[in-house]
Amino acid sequence: MILNASGCLDAIVAPDVARELDVFVTKTVTPLPRGGNEPVRIAETDFGMLNSIGLANSGVEKFVAETLPRLAELELPIWVSVGGFSADDYATVCATLDGCGEVAALELNVSCPNVAEPVESVAELVRAAREATSKKLYTKLSPASPDIAAVAKAAASAGSDGLSLVNTIRGLALDRGSLTPTLSTATGGLSGPALRPIALAAVYSCFRATGLPIVGMGGIESGRHALELIAVGASACALGTIFFSDPEAPGRIRSELAAEAEALGFENPSDAYAVAHGDEAPAPLRHVA
């Protein structure tokens, strides 16, 4: 199952790209409209890129009234990424979306590196969301926490149905000439190939800690990269930075994934699910793509 990472594709502007996905994940929606951060918002780095968009979005009311009906025309399952600055914010957005039949699941973005963090813990944010909706909840975690498996367990205990791993990790780039920060916010979220081993480690440890279904993401550029995430415990994969250089990535990676899996003796890519854990995989495995 191939998704997009939240904020890396606009399905309304590029519907043909979105239709190649199994699920479309929206850009993060907050209670109120946000213009986002001032330019400069992106910078290429060695082995990755930084972004500091700052959760630009039209706010949940306009999202439900204008964006969601247009996304529904794609006839794809839609996951809405939910953001905020407090547990109340998450509850508000989740409650508003709870009645929207077009929404298949919610992804709680509790880990944006480009905006102020809520004071509440991840578990408190998940609990607030859980109480506000009966929809499936995936919690998107930061790879920057010292013990991501502990955060994953807390999210699971608070009612998260799955995990999205990983969000970007904070980084900084300097202008070539002036040696001052390239981005207007100085730091931004690092994505791309640099995240691959970090994402693998996060999925590996969170899978062992929770056994929850995991959407693995972080620097996927090829079928091999997706297969490795599946092997450490991802039941689905999301593409992010690769969209920027290759809008045809979903179809290409899907066929590479099938070929890579077959070359290693797996009939389907999903047969490689959690093989990295050998016999020590937690049981029962609750979800296989």
248 binds another protein (CB under 8 A): yes
Q: Kindly give, in sequence order, each residue whose CB lies less than 8 Å from that of residue 234, ignoring residues fewer than 6 positions away.
A: 165, 203, 207, 214, 215, 216
Point out the catalytic residue in the list 94, 112, 206, 237.
Answer: 112
DSSP string computed for 91-137: HHHHHHHHT-TTEEEEEEE---TTSPPPSS-HHHHHHHHHHH--SEE
Cβ at position 244, least distance to another protein in Å: 4
Of 32, 40, 100, 201, the one binding another protein by CB under 8 A: 40
Determine phi and psi for 23, rounding to 5 degrees. -145, 140
Q: Does 53 bind another protein (CB under 8 A)?
A: yes
CB of 25 to another protein, least distance (A): 12
The verdict on 9 binding another protein (CB under 8 A) reads yes
User: Cis (ω within 30 of 0) for the bond into 40?
Assistant: yes
Q: Does 14 bind another protein (CB under 8 A)?
A: yes
CA distance 108 to 104: 13
Which of 159, 193, 251, 282 forms a contact with another protein (CB under 8 A)?
Answer: 193
Taking the least distance from each CB to another protein, the nearer of 51 and 210 is 51
Indicate whether 51 belongs to the interface with another protein (CB under 8 A): yes
Rounded distance between C-alpha atoms, residue 282 and residue 289, angstroms? 17
Asked if residue 108 lies in contact with residue 126, where contact means CB atoms within 8 angstroms, the answer is yes
Query: Is residue 199 classed as helix, strand or coil in its secondary structure?
Result: helix
Minimum CB separation of residue 49 from another protein in Å reads 6
Count of CB atoms within 10 A of residue 127's CB?
A: 21
Q: Which x/- pattern over 131-170 shows residues binding another protein (rule: CB under 8 A)?
A: ----------------------------------------
Reading the block at residue 171, the tokens are 């980084």
Asked whether position 178 contacts another protein by CB under 8 A, the answer is no
For the question of residue 112 being annotated catalytic, the response is yes
The residues binding another protein (CB under 8 A) are: 7-10, 13-14, 16-17, 27, 35-36, 38-44, 47-49, 51, 53, 56, 176, 192-193, 241, 243-248
Active site residues: 112
